[in-house]
Amino acid sequence: REQPKAAAAKKSDAFHKQQALNLVKAQIKLLVGYDNLPEDFARLVRLQANDLFDKNYDVGHDLFSKSEREKSAAKKDAQQATLLKLIKAAMLAAAVPELKQDVTPFLDGLYKHLTILELGRSLGQEKHAKRPFEPLSGEGPVFVDSRVIADAIADTLSSDSADVRDVAFNALDTMWKSAAMIFGAEDRVERLPFFRELTKSLIHHCFEEEWFSKSGGTAGIDYIVNKLNFSAAWLKDRQLELIRALFFVMKDMPQDLPANVRVQAKDVLQDIIRKCNQGTPTTDIGTANTLLHNVSNKLVGEVSHMNRHVREAAQDGLRLLAEVVGVKLYEIVKPV
């Protein structure tokens, strides 16, 4: 139980927090590791980015074909779980006033480092996937996955503190800008698979049992849809998954909690429908298995839900969908 602190204990608080942060930073550095970079590293990174964007996977060695069975997978999993906890602790520290100045530059450097690692990992995996079948090929190297940052961001967004959530939003911004710098343009960032994995993690949080996890997932999806410059085509590929996740948030949010999470989920749902269906041909309405047909099918199915808020969100979604496509409401509903 929390006890009132004496004046001496309060004075020593900052010292102990700083020492704890130093330990966290040292452990992160140990788990992330380091390399001696070549002088032309920037040029090599840009070449890799160009290869990933142009889908040129025929150049270079297949790094994921080797076998490292002598290494412990259990140890790797334990280190990965530890790294996730450490990154979350560092992000929490960035919301503490007396630690913010020290930890923020460290975190910014970590985000940039993990973005570069993600580029190399993504290109290596694509090369491996596109190679002909090789019976002597191994299972790939055993390594701590840099994509733990996606789970760290999603978990941090679930905090009840606005300052802590701002740290997670800053992480998204920094990784987006770092990827844009690596690729040379913002419209190329979508080719980096990390943001696809991040979206999956946020969707997964929407289906968690705890309401605060749903809140974090919804806030993250809102930021991706409305703040980061993803194209409508990129969002369109994930439209149905996002709609399912947001509807589940509205269905499963406890009624005794404030309505802000549910309202945010409804607003983001509207934003997704508006952005993803602009310019969709009306011929897709009655055609089975088109995205427009599947979306309208999902919305019509939710109109009969027992939860009043879900019904209203589905009805508003259908009206908006008809407006965006440029047809009457009954034309959207009729084929379903």
What is the radius of gyration, based on Cα positions, of the chain? 23
Please give the pLDDT value at position 70. 81
More confident residue, 237 or 134: 237
On the question of pLDDT at 8 being above 60, the answer is: no
On the question of pLDDT at 117 being above 80, the answer is: yes
pTM of the shown model:
0.90
- Give the confidence band of 222 by pLDDT, cuts at 50, 70, 90: very high
Per-residue pLDDT, averaged over 253-282, amounts to 90
More confident residue, 48 or 201: 201
Return d(Cα 157, Cα 22) in angstroms, integer: 24
More confident residue, 252 or 2: 252
Quote the Cα angle for 35-26-157, to 5°: 100
| Pair 107, 171: CB distance under 8 Å | yes
Inter-axis angle of helices 260-276 and 239-252, nearest 10: 160
**pLDDT of 31-65, one tens digit each?**
988 888 888 888 989 988 988 888 887 766 777 77
Per-residue pLDDT, averaged over 109-113, amounts to 95
**pLDDT of 134-148, one tens digit each?**
776 767 777 888 889
Q: Which residues make Cβ contacts (< 8 Å) with residue 49, sequence separation at least 6?
A: 119, 182, 183, 184, 188
Please give the pLDDT value at position 7. 55
Return d(Cα 210, Cα 204) in angstroms, integer: 12
- Give the confidence band of 11 by pLDDT, cuts at 50, 70, 90: low
Element (H, E) at 1: none
- The ranges assigned to domains in the chain are 13-192, 233-336
| Pair 38, 175: CB distance under 8 Å | no
Return d(Cα 255, Cα 232) in angstroms, integer: 33
Return d(Cα 112, Cα 133) in angstroms, integer: 34
Q: How would you classify residue 231: left for phi > 0, otherwise alpha for psi between -120 and 50, otherwise beta? A: beta
Return d(Cα 98, Cα 105) in angstroms, integer: 14
Least confident interval from 92-106, 116-130, 168-182: 116-130
